[in-house]
A and B are shown apart, each in its own frame.
Chain A
């Protein structure tokens, strides 16, 4: 179980200067026992048109492997500045990643989608492992991923 509290201080649209217009959101990602080494996960947000808006978390410290998070890599060009300060360790099979972030209210119910790309050494790359729309009503609902994620939920 990983519990982290991070405050996004990036110049992305995800946070607003005043915390009054943001709220703490807990993202919980549990991996299944896929039988491989630790997974790299990229958590990021796209807008209504599918365009990349910003990153929320990067699990996995070695940037040379980021190209296996195909969609994220394609959207950012592999720019590590996107995940500066919001990077942690890779997540072992069966483990849970729990992060709490102050997310802007404006992100919810406005057509934004949260994506997770996943990759594991010597196993398939799994871009778009999870894609959930960010809505206030969707909070607390668990969704499964395609290959590595057993369940993902965001709670406010």
Chain B
């Protein structure tokens, strides 16, 4: 619901809010420029003295105005010719033209009415209303994503467009809320919908009928500082019934031109004061610095518009049409989807197609539509559940848990839950886990145990599909390619072989950089830009499902390097480890922004085992800034699978690596990285307490073991891997 409230106003009003924000940002500069350019009055200068000085220079002066920036403007007639100038209050002389700035006028008219009069004003007010709705719904989404209002500035993870969108939003939203609400107030005021009109005092019927009072004898004028002045109008020459009109920031009054007596006075009304404050907050006139800040924040709107559209497109592309969807009442398999951005729907479509092809009748729907009483012919229920942010239910699964918990009796047909998530989040698949736990607590029979799919991994999904096929006694091959990226042909240039002696044949494969197009170079697409820790998806011959490998090199290294262990019967690893220089593979690049050392200079603790050394070695190789890196590396035997054993000492000499700790498992006394960490507990704790970042790469079990060990080591210091993860200081790349 909130997402819809954010998406549709955003897309519909995109052009309007972009014009509003760009023109608003441009306008924010003018009050500051005026404030700097305007000659300011000395603080003790009174209105009487100022008026005297001006009248001396311009005897025909008719009106003196002071703008909120402190700029004084005088208007006069000199022998019937109108004149006006910005006045230097020190001399009373004109120093600059008082004509309105044509650029400012043009942008102002664009900003408030698109040059379209009242219709345009209403359109722009609608744009401001859209901005308000977007700000409120966006703030609610940020709070949900970061796990509550108190975590407003928590570190973000996930795809770049989404992160940028939220990074900008959580700073700019304050300004946008202020600008949009004040804009709506000002529009209401312009259309006379607010009782904030001026209420000047009634014009005096009785005056002295004399003229020629000295300015310093006008009541109060010698006491009022220029800073309080708004406007002083002189009486018409020769009209004895006319008066001086004085406006200050307290109100409006009339002064007799014969004896200087205050004839009438009216204070500003409360509404007027509120409207004036709102005008100041919106325009920055009288609050130039605030104006500039608001202008800067407004500049975030086009960026958020662009990233917002990208997020929406990505979600749309990922959510395919489901052909031949069966009604819930007739389907044998009920497939319910909990998806936030839409990518899980793509997996559902693949599963639906594969099951349908295997002769099953399948109904696909959102988890929020869970209604077991309608599933009269269902034999099983399958839930594909993503997680939003810090463990919350994703958009299409809202209310599922409440409904499930409300049932006295759970359905008889068994259930399978597959979680989708990203291991770099602390709450990996938390919602799916909650659902599985709730189902178990209710005594719901289980078709398959809970499984997870990391970062839309086609392999994880295919593996789970085989398990599902076994359970259903059908042959189920799920080949899901979330977004078909453009593939490249990579040519092997060299290989180094390890591990044959320890029954783990492994190769470090180095490929040449493919040619990149000018366009790719310009936008940094494909292999035009990559870092160690990014992934390449290799498409083995005979399968449409890509296998992901972590890169051990960055673009600037001039080659593409991966570490591949040959799995018995593994299709892709078999083909890769059989490559000879000159052979080619088909591959694409997948960025992995969650697994980067980051720009900080804080020490890095890299922990890896086996082929997990790949990206870590890449980080060390790229560490030309000599950031202190501590590498914990687990291997079977130093004589056999010490990957990068040749380079590591050299990197140590060059201070790209401070310390290398190895753990060897295929010896008389097996030693694992966990043991190495435990041996080094004091220093590891000290490093982490001082801000070090931990990066773990390797098999799932190794990563779990490392997390347990670190939890144990860090407990005395009051730290846990979970806390570090939440701070973005503990990241894993696990396979």
Contacts and interface: CB of A to CB of B under 8 A. Distances in A.
Interface of A: 35-37, 61-64, 67, 70, 73-74, 77, 89, 122-126, 128, 146-147
Nearest to B109: A37
A64 to B, nearest CB: 5
Interface stretch (B129-137, B196-204, B222-230, B625-633): B196-204
B236 interface: yes
Contact of B190 (A62, A89, A123, A124): A62
Given A123-B100, A146-B82, A64 B109 contact: no
Interface of B: 62-63, 75, 77, 80, 82, 84, 99-100, 102, 105, 109, 117-118, 189-192, 197-198, 200, 202-203, 233, 236, 245
A46 to B, nearest CB: 13
A123 B105 CA distance: 12
A124 B84 CA distance: 8
Nearest to B231: A125
26 contacts: A35-B99, A36-B99, A36-B100, A36-B105, A37-B109, A61-B118, A62-B190, A63-B197, A64-B189, A64-B198, A67-B198, A67-B200, A70-B233, A70-B245, A73-B200, A74-B203, A77-B202, A89-B117, A123-B84, A123-B99, A124-B63, A124-B75, A124-B82, A124-B84, A128-B236, A146-B77
Chain A contact residues: over half helix, strand or loop, or mixed?
A: loop
Given A35-B102, A122-B100, A123-B84, 18 more contacts: A35-B100, A36-B105, A37-B105, A61-B118, A62-B190, A63-B197, A64-B189, A64-B197, A64-B198, A70-B233, A89-B117, A123-B99, A123-B100, A124-B84, A125-B63, A128-B236, A146-B77, A146-B80
A64 B192 contact: yes
A128 B77 CA distance: 13
A94 B77 CA distance: 22
A86 B233 CA distance: 29
A37 B117 CA distance: 11
Contacts of B200: 67, 73
A124 B202 CA distance: 22
A122 B69 CA distance: 14
Contacts of A62: 190-192
B252 to A, nearest CB: 9
Contacts of A74: 203
Given A123-B100, A124-B82, A124-B84, A63 B203 contact: no
B107 to A, nearest CB: 13
Nearest to A126: B82
A63 B99 contact: no
B117 A147 contact: no
A67 B201 CA distance: 12
A5 B261 CA distance: 47
Contacts of A146: 77, 80, 82
Contacts of B233: 70, 125
Contacts of A64: 189-190, 192, 197-198
Nearest to B108: A37
B568 to A, nearest CB: 81
A76 to B, nearest CB: 11
